Amino acid sequence: GAVVSQHPSWVICKSGTSVKIECRSLDFQATTMFWYRQFPKQSLMLMATSNEGSKATYEQGVEKDKFLINHASLTLSTLTVTSAHPEDSSFYICSVRDSGKETQYFGPGTRLLVL
Amino acid sequence: AQSVTQPDIHITVSEGASLELRCNYSYGATPYLFWYVQSPGQGLQLLLKYFSGDTLVQGIKGFEAEFKRSQSSFNLRKPSVHWSDAAEYFCAVGSYNFNKFYFGSGTKLNVKP
Protein backbone atom coordinates (compact mmCIF):
# COMPACT_ATOMS: atom_id res chain seq x y z
CA GLY A 1 0.00 0.00 0.00
CA ALA A 2 0.87 3.66 -0.13
CA VAL A 3 3.31 5.09 2.37
CA VAL A 4 2.07 8.11 4.27
CA SER A 5 4.14 9.98 6.80
CA GLN A 6 3.24 12.59 9.36
CA HIS A 7 5.41 15.05 11.21
CA PRO A 8 5.68 15.52 14.07
CA SER A 9 4.52 12.33 15.71
CA TRP A 10 4.17 14.07 19.06
CA VAL A 11 3.74 17.73 19.92
CA ILE A 12 3.15 19.51 23.19
CA CYS A 13 2.31 23.18 23.10
CA LYS A 14 1.03 25.95 25.30
CA SER A 15 -2.53 27.14 25.08
CA GLY A 16 -2.89 29.96 22.57
CA THR A 17 -0.09 28.89 20.27
CA SER A 18 -0.45 27.45 16.78
CA VAL A 19 0.75 24.04 15.71
CA LYS A 20 1.41 22.79 12.19
CA ILE A 21 1.16 19.12 11.28
CA GLU A 22 2.50 17.81 8.00
CA CYS A 23 1.19 14.88 6.00
CA ARG A 24 3.26 13.51 3.15
CA SER A 25 2.45 10.94 0.52
CA LEU A 26 5.81 9.31 -0.09
CA ASP A 27 5.26 7.08 -3.08
CA PHE A 28 2.50 8.58 -5.18
CA GLN A 29 0.94 11.90 -5.98
CA ALA A 30 -2.22 12.49 -4.03
CA THR A 31 -4.68 15.05 -5.30
CA THR A 32 -6.89 14.34 -2.32
CA MET A 33 -5.87 13.93 1.29
CA PHE A 34 -8.04 13.69 4.35
CA TRP A 35 -7.67 14.82 7.94
CA TYR A 36 -9.23 12.86 10.79
CA ARG A 37 -9.39 13.41 14.49
CA GLN A 38 -9.52 10.68 17.08
CA PHE A 39 -10.39 11.33 20.70
CA PRO A 40 -9.29 8.80 23.31
CA LYS A 41 -11.26 5.56 23.10
CA GLN A 42 -13.31 6.89 20.22
CA SER A 43 -13.33 6.36 16.51
CA LEU A 44 -11.92 8.51 13.76
CA MET A 45 -14.00 11.44 12.67
CA LEU A 46 -13.38 13.07 9.33
CA MET A 47 -12.52 16.75 9.77
CA ALA A 48 -11.84 17.87 6.24
CA THR A 49 -10.91 16.87 2.73
CA SER A 50 -7.79 18.51 1.40
CA ASN A 51 -7.67 19.12 -2.34
CA GLU A 52 -4.43 20.02 -4.07
CA GLY A 53 -4.51 23.55 -5.38
CA SER A 54 -7.92 24.43 -4.00
CA LYS A 55 -9.69 25.11 -0.75
CA ALA A 56 -10.30 22.31 1.67
CA THR A 57 -13.78 21.01 2.29
CA TYR A 58 -14.70 20.90 5.95
CA GLU A 59 -17.17 18.60 7.64
CA GLN A 60 -20.08 20.06 9.51
CA GLY A 61 -19.09 21.39 12.89
CA VAL A 62 -15.38 21.78 12.09
CA GLU A 63 -14.17 25.37 12.28
CA LYS A 64 -12.25 26.22 9.12
CA ASP A 65 -10.57 29.20 10.76
CA LYS A 66 -9.45 27.03 13.65
CA PHE A 67 -8.07 24.19 11.56
CA LEU A 68 -6.27 25.63 8.56
CA ILE A 69 -5.50 23.20 5.78
CA ASN A 70 -3.05 23.79 2.97
CA HIS A 71 -2.51 21.28 0.19
CA ALA A 72 0.19 23.06 -1.76
CA SER A 73 1.63 20.11 -3.63
CA LEU A 74 0.64 16.63 -4.69
CA THR A 75 2.64 15.11 -1.88
CA LEU A 76 2.10 17.47 1.03
CA SER A 77 -0.87 18.64 3.04
CA THR A 78 -0.59 20.61 6.26
CA LEU A 79 -3.04 21.07 9.10
CA THR A 80 -2.49 24.08 11.36
CA VAL A 81 -4.33 24.18 14.65
CA THR A 82 -4.56 27.88 15.40
CA SER A 83 -4.74 29.30 18.92
CA ALA A 84 -4.78 25.82 20.34
CA HIS A 85 -6.69 25.07 23.51
CA PRO A 86 -6.65 22.00 25.77
CA GLU A 87 -9.83 20.70 24.14
CA ASP A 88 -7.91 20.48 20.86
CA SER A 89 -5.70 17.80 22.38
CA SER A 90 -6.27 14.75 20.26
CA PHE A 91 -4.76 12.29 17.82
CA TYR A 92 -4.75 13.70 14.29
CA ILE A 93 -4.46 11.28 11.40
CA CYS A 94 -4.19 12.03 7.72
CA SER A 95 -4.92 9.72 4.84
CA VAL A 96 -4.51 9.72 1.09
CA ARG A 97 -6.93 8.34 -1.43
CA ASP A 98 -5.68 5.91 -3.97
CA SER A 99 -8.54 5.52 -6.38
CA GLY A 100 -6.55 2.93 -8.27
CA LYS A 101 -6.60 0.75 -5.18
CA GLU A 102 -10.03 1.94 -4.10
CA THR A 103 -9.15 2.74 -0.56
CA GLN A 104 -7.48 5.28 1.71
CA TYR A 105 -4.06 4.84 3.24
CA PHE A 106 -3.48 6.30 6.65
CA GLY A 107 -0.53 8.03 8.21
CA PRO A 108 0.84 7.08 11.63
CA GLY A 109 -0.87 10.02 13.31
CA THR A 110 0.20 13.03 15.35
CA ARG A 111 -0.59 13.25 19.00
CA LEU A 112 -1.22 16.83 20.12
CA LEU A 113 -1.28 17.83 23.76
CA VAL A 114 -2.19 21.40 24.58
CA LEU A 115 -1.32 22.52 28.07
CA ALA B 1 -28.03 7.92 7.64
CA GLN B 2 -24.71 6.19 7.36
CA SER B 3 -23.39 4.49 10.45
CA VAL B 4 -21.18 1.64 11.53
CA THR B 5 -21.70 -0.22 14.77
CA GLN B 6 -19.16 -2.38 16.51
CA PRO B 7 -21.06 -3.72 19.51
CA ASP B 8 -18.04 -5.08 21.36
CA ILE B 9 -15.77 -2.46 22.92
CA HIS B 10 -13.33 -4.96 24.40
CA ILE B 11 -12.71 -8.60 23.63
CA THR B 12 -10.21 -10.91 25.29
CA VAL B 13 -9.25 -14.22 23.75
CA SER B 14 -6.57 -16.75 24.52
CA GLU B 15 -3.69 -17.17 22.12
CA GLY B 16 -4.54 -19.87 19.62
CA ALA B 17 -8.27 -19.43 20.03
CA SER B 18 -10.55 -18.30 17.25
CA LEU B 19 -11.77 -14.73 16.95
CA GLU B 20 -14.82 -13.01 15.57
CA LEU B 21 -15.29 -9.25 15.69
CA ARG B 22 -18.74 -7.97 14.85
CA CYS B 23 -19.63 -5.09 12.57
CA ASN B 24 -23.02 -3.86 11.45
CA TYR B 25 -23.55 -1.03 9.05
CA SER B 26 -26.27 1.24 7.80
CA TYR B 27 -25.69 2.72 4.39
CA GLY B 28 -28.05 4.00 1.75
CA ALA B 29 -26.19 2.69 -1.26
CA THR B 30 -24.00 -0.25 -2.15
CA PRO B 31 -21.54 -0.45 0.73
CA TYR B 32 -17.81 -0.60 0.31
CA LEU B 33 -16.62 -2.23 3.50
CA PHE B 34 -13.24 -2.23 5.19
CA TRP B 35 -11.50 -3.52 8.26
CA TYR B 36 -8.50 -1.65 9.64
CA VAL B 37 -6.20 -2.44 12.55
CA GLN B 38 -4.54 0.16 14.74
CA SER B 39 -1.67 -0.61 17.06
CA PRO B 40 -1.04 1.78 19.98
CA GLY B 41 0.16 5.15 18.75
CA GLN B 42 0.06 4.00 15.15
CA GLY B 43 -2.05 4.81 12.15
CA LEU B 44 -4.48 2.42 10.57
CA GLN B 45 -3.46 -0.55 8.51
CA LEU B 46 -5.86 -2.04 5.98
CA LEU B 47 -6.67 -5.68 6.71
CA LEU B 48 -9.19 -6.34 3.98
CA LYS B 49 -11.99 -4.84 1.95
CA TYR B 50 -15.17 -5.90 0.22
CA PHE B 51 -16.76 -4.28 -2.79
CA SER B 52 -18.62 -7.02 -4.62
CA GLY B 53 -18.44 -10.66 -5.63
CA ASP B 54 -17.55 -13.45 -3.26
CA THR B 55 -18.94 -12.51 0.13
CA LEU B 56 -16.03 -14.12 1.98
CA VAL B 57 -12.91 -12.04 1.58
CA GLN B 58 -9.41 -12.87 2.64
CA GLY B 59 -7.05 -10.31 4.07
CA ILE B 60 -3.58 -10.01 5.45
CA LYS B 61 -2.29 -11.68 8.61
CA GLY B 62 -4.72 -14.59 8.24
CA PHE B 63 -7.88 -12.51 8.67
CA GLU B 64 -11.07 -12.99 6.73
CA ALA B 65 -14.46 -11.31 6.74
CA GLU B 66 -17.88 -12.29 5.53
CA PHE B 67 -20.39 -9.87 4.06
CA LYS B 68 -24.01 -10.71 4.83
CA ARG B 69 -26.34 -8.30 3.13
CA SER B 70 -29.45 -9.64 4.85
CA GLN B 71 -27.93 -8.92 8.23
CA SER B 72 -26.07 -5.74 7.20
CA SER B 73 -22.99 -7.28 8.74
CA PHE B 74 -19.34 -7.59 7.89
CA ASN B 75 -17.77 -9.64 10.68
CA LEU B 76 -14.04 -10.18 10.92
CA ARG B 77 -12.67 -13.61 11.78
CA LYS B 78 -9.39 -15.34 12.43
CA PRO B 79 -9.12 -19.06 13.18
CA SER B 80 -6.14 -18.82 15.52
CA VAL B 81 -5.14 -15.61 17.24
CA HIS B 82 -1.52 -14.68 17.87
CA TRP B 83 -0.30 -12.41 20.66
CA SER B 84 0.76 -9.87 18.03
CA ASP B 85 -2.88 -9.47 17.00
CA ALA B 86 -3.57 -7.47 20.15
CA ALA B 87 -4.66 -4.07 18.84
CA GLU B 88 -7.75 -2.06 18.10
CA TYR B 89 -9.86 -3.00 15.10
CA PHE B 90 -12.05 -0.63 13.15
CA CYS B 91 -14.76 -1.45 10.69
CA ALA B 92 -15.57 1.20 8.10
CA VAL B 93 -17.92 1.81 5.22
CA GLY B 94 -16.77 3.95 2.34
CA SER B 95 -18.61 5.98 -0.23
CA TYR B 96 -18.49 5.05 -3.92
CA ASN B 97 -15.61 7.45 -4.58
CA PHE B 98 -13.78 6.56 -1.36
CA ASN B 99 -13.92 10.16 -0.20
CA LYS B 100 -16.13 9.48 2.79
CA PHE B 101 -15.24 6.85 5.30
CA TYR B 102 -17.50 6.17 8.26
CA PHE B 103 -15.83 4.31 11.06
CA GLY B 104 -17.18 2.22 13.87
CA SER B 105 -16.11 2.98 17.41
CA GLY B 106 -13.57 0.19 17.39
CA THR B 107 -13.04 -3.08 19.24
CA LYS B 108 -9.99 -3.47 21.40
CA LEU B 109 -8.60 -6.98 21.30
CA ASN B 110 -6.56 -8.37 24.16
CA VAL B 111 -4.78 -11.70 23.76
CA LYS B 112 -4.08 -13.85 26.81
CA PRO B 113 -0.97 -16.00 26.75
A106/B32 touch (CB, cutoff 8 Å), yes or no? no
Per-residue pLDDT at A1: 63
Instruction: Chain B: give the shortest CA distance to residue A93, in Å.
Output: 7
Q: Checking DSSP bridges between strand A57-58 and strand A67-73, what pairing results, if any?
A: unpaired
Burial of B62 (0-12, 13-18, 19+ CB in 10 A): middle
Cα radius of gyration (chain B): 13
Residues A102 and B32: their CA atoms lie apart, in Å, by: 9
> Which residues are within 8 A (CB) of A63 and not within 5 positions of it... i.e. 6 or more apart?
none
pLDDT 10s digit of each residue in chain A, 115 long?
668 999 999 999 999 999 999 999 988 788 889 999 988 777 889 999 988 888 899 999 999 999 999 988 889 999 999 999 999 999 999 999 876 767 788 898 999 999 9
For chain A, the first-to-last Cα distance in angstroms comes to 36
Is the pLDDT at B98 greater than 80? The verdict is: no
In a mutational test of the A interface, the residue from B9, B32, B38 whose CB has the highest number of chain A CBs within 10 Å is B38
Q: Which of B85, B25, B41 is nearest to B59 (CA)?
A: B85
Contacts with A9 from chain B: Cβ below 8 Å: 41
On the question of a cis peptide bond just before residue B113, with omega within 30 degrees of 0, the verdict is no
Contacts with B3 from chain A: Cβ below 8 Å: none
A4/B43 touch (CB, cutoff 8 Å), yes or no? yes
The residue of chain B nearest to residue A5, with distances taken between CA atoms, is B43
> Which residues are within 8 A (CB) of A100 and not within 5 positions of it... i.e. 6 or more apart?
none
C-beta neighbour count of B99 within 10 angstroms: 15
B106/A4 touch (CB, cutoff 8 Å), yes or no? no
Cβ atoms of B15 and B112 within 8 Å: the answer is yes
C-beta neighbour count of A10 within 10 angstroms: 10
Residues A97 and B33: their CA atoms lie apart, in Å, by: 15
Per residue in B42-89, pLDDT (tens digit) is 778 899 999 888 999 999 999 999 999 999 999 999 999 999 999 999
Per residue in B18-54, pLDDT (tens digit) is 999 999 999 877 789 999 999 877 778 899 999 888 9
Residues A89 and A10: their CA atoms lie apart, in Å, by: 11
